[in-house]
Amino acid sequence: MSAAFTPVGRERQGVRPAQPVAGPIPLRARHGWPRRHVLPAVLLLLALPVAAQTSGAAPAAQHHRAVAAVTIANTAVPAKVDFANVSLFPRFWRVYQPWHVPALNLANPQALDRAAQNGTINLSLHRVIALALADNLDIATADYERLFAQADQMRTKGGAAARGVSGAVSTTSLFSGAIGASGGIGGGASTGGAGGVVGGGGGLRALGGGLSDPQLNFFFSDEHSKSPLNSPVIYGTPISEVNQTVGGASFTQGFATGTSISVSGVGVRQYINSNELFFNPELISSVSLGIGQNIFPGGFNSVANRAFLIVAENNRHVADAVFRQKVIQTVAQAAEQYWDLAELQQEVRVARQTSRYAGQLLADTRQLVARGKAPESQLIEVESQSTTLRQNELTLQTQAQQQATKLKLYLVRDWSPAVIAARLRTTEELPSPQGPPNLSEQAVIQEALRNRPEIQEDRYNLKTRELEAKVTGIALQPTLQVGASISASGLSGLQVNCAVNQFPCPASELRAPLPGGITQAFTQSLHVTYPDYAVGFSLAVPLVNHVGRADHATAELQLAQERVVIRNQENKLAQQVDSDLIALDGAVAKLQDVNASRQLAEQALANAKAKYQMGATTVFTVIDAQKALLQLQTAAIQARADYAKAQIKLAEATGTILSQYHVQLRAPRRAQLAAPSRRGGPLAPVNWSIPPLAGANH
């Protein structure tokens, strides 16, 4: 199934950058923030409104239109995963059929291919994020971990251990046979000892066990044997010939309470060439029921019986966190790559404009030299400057093309020839700050601790370590299992009918045998005519228990280590947030300073041009002023790009970038990219946002 993709918003061209804020912008003090309240921050990567920035444009309200939510599915992941939907009814045979991954769509979306074939792909930031969610193969790879977690949960429901997923801790201490593993129920089919030459009890049918899938067992055999006998006393014949048919069925299941049950039924038909038997052929039946229970360790409600189920559930949350982190990283990287490309394309435009002016200056200088109003040396200097500027433009064009290839990797599934040849064009201008980034450092750190997937991942791993320590502690107890069973046998067949009260019956006194069959045998079993009761227990008392104590010690140490890991992760996260806040402050300060200097350089170049036209100065003054302005224009573009990426870094560090870009992760393999609301999205404890998406309400 192809990804559902709809370009959202209006592609904007010719947008002028916002004017810098007048006056000095107060920056955060290095060692503290105002603690009175969290100021409404301006961490805005503004996608600048066309109406507000373009001369002669219509009112801003006319350029904003409501945008429907876009549901995007990454088709590199199966859209329909139903291997866990196991049901015996009505299509019971599905349980025995292999499951195959549905066909994957690894082609590019049709809209993207059409744009690539036209030669130019126009990209807004919104469209970049939408394509990354739908097409990025790193996101698809991470999404498979969630499917692995689903399979693991299914596996643990059958009593097996979870295999684990990426990011989850390994619970090796839980793999001992006494914890969570399926114990032998011991309730297999048995004839119960009925019939034959001597009777006998069937023995205890079940002891305690762990969780296991229900299972039906059927068996059948037909046998003929002939063997010599050492004495004719028992069977009355020197050669024994036996024809025997055996058939039966049994049902077994273990439960998370540590309980196991076993139900079995067996039927036997046996003929022996002997007149020393009451029934020949004889029909033997046996029905048995066994129940077992773990008492120590575990008991009815202990977590030891459900350890693997709990681990699998924790791992599912870990897989969700790992997937969310990959989406956050990919969205942040795609946005940064977009702004890097926008920066280079804007630098190319500035370099091209400067080259054109240098060409005009060269033409003017040639005229002045021809009229004798300027020396030949000035013409050489202007020609050298024009060549340098042209080379700079070519260098920037090359860098922009290389940057476009980096961005393409986030947006496509298939590196097709059309995609390779296509040109990317960004349609949004680099943002400028609209106010001071006054944010409470502590508030932002707390926001990060609430939202960062790595912290959530570590907390679920901590739950698993706590479970492991608890279960291995329980496992130090002696092992006690109890069980009880009841069996009933039946015996029927063609009964010897003798005219005299003598056994064995003389051949001359034999009459027609009395009829009997398997029905009579099983009737005796069901009425418990010949019962067999059994109770018992199994107690294992380790005297030293080196293995169990070592496993428990390891689990406790791993739990302590996990607590250290979480604190270390929180400290690193706080440092990262602090560093990103500093980078944001520096980007704003740099942009403010560059904008002020650029305005002065523009005025200086205008003055130099005027004086040069009047012959009041040399061309060298104009060239120097032009160089200075070009450097400041480039620095301003770079400062705005740094500002944009600093905000993305901070949004990524706090784990809020998805909500800021209005990306909602839903069920596995699904994500929704919604348009921002007029209120700017969901409320958050720290009220700041990064760029409203192009063409959306805000």
Report pLDDT for 667: 61
Distance from C-alpha of 45 to C-alpha of 432, rounded to nearest angstrom: 7
What pLDDT is stored for residue 163 in this prediction?
A: 87
Report the 10 Å Cβ neighbour count for 50.
22
Angle, vertex CA 232, rays to CA 229 and CA 238, nearest 5: 50
Q: List pLDDT tens digits, range 138-152.
A: 988 988 888 899 888
pLDDT at 625: 82
Q: Is pLDDT of 470 > 80?
A: yes
CA geometry: angle 530, 272, 520, nearest 5 deg: 35
Number of H helices, E strands in the chain: 13, 11
Of residues 685 and 664, which shows the higher confidence score? 664
Q: How far apart are CA 138 and CA 452, in angstroms?
A: 19
Average pLDDT over residues 456-473: 92
Q: Which of 40-54, 125-139, 197-211 has the lowest mean pLDDT?
A: 40-54
Mean pLDDT across the stretch 577-598?
86
Per-residue model confidence (pLDDT) at position 599: 83
Question: What tokens were used for 552?
Answer: 């428990």
Cβ pair 48, 17 in contact under 8 A = yes
* Mean pLDDT of the region 598-616: 80
pLDDT, mean over the chain: 76
| More confident of the two residues 440 and 18 | 440
Peptide bond into 214 cis (omega under 30): no
pLDDT at position 181: 39
Q: Which pLDDT does position 84 carry in this prediction?
A: 65
Q: What is the mean pLDDT of residues 32-49?
A: 29
Answer for the pair 74, 379: CB distance below 8 angstroms, yes or no: no
Rounded CA separation 128/407 (Å): 9
Average pLDDT over residues 162-187: 63
- Distance (Å, rounded) from C-alpha 696 to C-alpha 574? 33
pLDDT, mean of residues 653-661 = 87
What is the DSSP secondary-structure string of 44-71? ------HHHHSTTPPPGGGG------EE
Residues 193, 491 contacting (CB under 8 angstroms):
no
Buried b (16+ CB within 10 A) or exposed e, 340-372: bbbbbbbbbebbeebbebbeebbebbeebbeee
pLDDT at 75: 76
Distance, CA of 71 to chain centre = 18
Q: Report pLDDT for 189.
A: 44
Lowest mean pLDDT among 89-103, 238-252, 276-290, 636-650: 89-103
Q: What is the pLDDT of residues 242-270, one digit of tens each?
A: 999 999 999 999 888 888 999 999 999 98
CA 279 to CA 142: how far, in whole Å?
69
Average pLDDT on 103-119 reads: 85
Residue 454 pLDDT greater than 70, yes or no: yes
Q: Please compute the mean of the pLDDT values over residues 420-440 and round it to a whole number.
A: 82
Whether the per-residue pLDDT at 483 is higher than 80: the answer is yes
pLDDT score of 178: 36
pLDDT band at 326 (very low <50, low <70, confident <90, very high): very high
Q: Can you give the pLDDT at residue 175?
A: 64
| CA–CA gap between residue 157 and residue 162 (Å, rounded) | 10
Q: Are 180 and 307 in contact (CB under 8 A)?
A: yes
Return the pLDDT at 158.
85
Residues 136, 139, 144, 147, CA torsion sign: negative
pLDDT computed for residue 33 by the predictor: 34
What Cα–Cα distance (Å) separates residue 362 from each residue in 357, 368, 392, 619? Answer: 9, 10, 17, 10
Q: Are 109 and 135 in contact (CB under 8 A)?
A: yes
Q: Give the Å distances, CA to CA, from 696 to 125, 287, 338, 603, 644.
A: 12, 73, 19, 37, 19
Rama region for 642: left / alpha / beta (φ>0; ψ in -120 to 50; rest): alpha
